[in-house]
């Protein structure tokens, strides 16, 4: 028998289904890859058009992203976008991941309401900024000392 918490959660999901896809609901309520990564090979913190921020950490091995994580102070759809973009990045080569667009994140999430589409842009932009940082740190490792998490 469902507990009162489970019933409450189901009621919230039913309300969310009127606006969001199953993937958005799942990734916002159970985000993957949440938190920082120690000794990250790439890192970026980006401020989105709405003023919210997202941070992404990358671990890279042999030019392939082997792990990725994120933190955001944004809304539920930015949590879903960060969760999805880090899932998408894992296992990709640096050059493949660099091509990730807002459209890719939106498609993977099954779309977002128009007013939330910028959350997917923030996620794609942060991933690409973290990749650029990885490339810079590889070239100039001494810059790691000046990183600000
Ligand atoms: Fe600011 Fe979603 S990231 S509203």
Q: Which atom of ligand 1 is nearest to the CA of 76?
A: 2
Ligand 1 near 53 CB (within 6 A): no
Ligand 1 near 81 CB (within 6 A): no
In angstroms and rounded to an integer, the radius of gyration of the C-alpha atoms of the chain is 16
Does pLDDT of 149 surpass 80? no
Q: Which CATH architecture has domain 4-146?
A: Alpha-Beta Complex (3.90)
CB 37 within 8 Å of CB 57: yes
Enzyme catalytic residues: 50, 119
Nearest CA to ligand 1 atom 4: 75
Does pLDDT of 74 surpass 90? yes
C-alpha to C-alpha distance for 98 and 56, rounded to whole angstroms: 14
Q: Which atom of ligand 1 is nearest to the CA of 54?
A: 3
CA distances 83 to 11, 65, 88, Å, are 23, 15, 9
Condensed to tens digits (0 to 9), the pLDDT of residues 97-131 reads 999 999 999 999 999 999 999 999 999 999 999 99
Crossing angle of the two packed helices 76-89 and 22-29, in degrees rounded to 10: 90
Ligand 1 near 119 CB (within 6 A): yes
Q: Give pTM, 2 decimals.
A: 0.93
């Amino acid at each position: 028998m469902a507990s009162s918490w489970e019933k409450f959660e189901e009621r919230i999901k039913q309300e969310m289904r009127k606006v969001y896809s199953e993937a958005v609901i799942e990734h916002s309520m159970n985000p993957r890859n949440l938190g920082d990564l120690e000794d990250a090979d790439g890192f970026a913190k980006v401020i989105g058009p709405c003023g919210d921020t997202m941070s992404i950490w990358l671990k890279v091995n042999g030019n392939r992203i082997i792990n990725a994580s994120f933190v955001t102070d944004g809304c539920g759809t930015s949590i879903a976008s960060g969760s999805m973009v880090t899932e998408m990045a894992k296992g990709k080569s640096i050059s493949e991941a660099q091509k990730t667009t807002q459209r890719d994140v939106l498609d993977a999430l099954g779309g977002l309401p128009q007013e939330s589409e910028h959350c997917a842009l923030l996620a794609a932009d942060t991933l690409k900024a973290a990749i650029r940082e990885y490339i810079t740190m590889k070239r100039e490792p001494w810059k790691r000392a000046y990183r600000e998490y």
